[in-house]
Amino acid sequence: MSKILVNMAPHQFLKDVLITLMNELAQALQCTLTQDIPITHHMGITIERYNAQGLILKAPLIGNTNPKGTAFAGSINALVTLTGWGLIWLFLKELNIAGDVVIQNSWINYIHPVTDDFAAFCHRPGQDEIEKFEQGLRKKGKARMELSVEIRQGDEIAVEFKGRYVVHV
């Protein structure tokens, strides 16, 4: 066995494996977004981070502006919708389940203008909710999950979004 593995604390080894897996999943999601959802390429959407807390997708302000020079509401809506969609896609990969993800309905609140490059954060739901989602997929072949996404400008929330996503296997 490698000296590195022998000297590494078990929890650190598991943490490193988890980080590697999450990075690989994020790269696979980026490829899927770019190849299968053309608007992501045109908007310049990239993955900033995927970890145990959730998923962050980002987009540049340049190319996503309205006539006032702030972020176009359609670009904002696309980014937050895709961030929730992406988190569900990642869950399916983690669970080793093939399925189609669609958004059933959504609600968005534009609180403040977005005046700079912007990032949407979708918080990972609790383990109970993920397990319920998985059970629905495995037993019924479909499941729903409601996710919240936010965009911040500085310390303030600029946009709030809630979306209900449906998966059919």
The predicted-structure confidence for 67-86, as pLDDT tens digits, reads as follows 999 999 999 999 999 999 99
pLDDT for res 119: 98
The predicted-structure confidence for 140-165, as pLDDT tens digits, reads as follows 999 999 999 999 999 999 999 999 99
The Cα 7–Cα 117 span in angstroms is: 43
Largest CA distance in the chain: 61
Task: Give the residue with greater pLDDT, 11 vs 97.
Answer: 97
The predicted-structure confidence for 8-42, as pLDDT tens digits, reads as follows 455 665 555 556 666 788 888 888 889 999 999 99
Residues 6+ positions from 153 with CB-CB distance below 8 Å: 112, 114, 115, 116, 118
Domain ranges in the chain are 3-168
Helical residues (DSSP H) of 96-165, grouped into ranges? 127-140
Tell me: domain 3-168, CATH 3.10.180.10, correct? no
Q: Check if the beta carbon of residue 70 is closer than 8 Å to that of residue 52.
A: no
> Is pLDDT of 100 > 80?
yes
Q: Which of 75, 21, 13, 17 is nearest to 50 (CA)?
A: 21
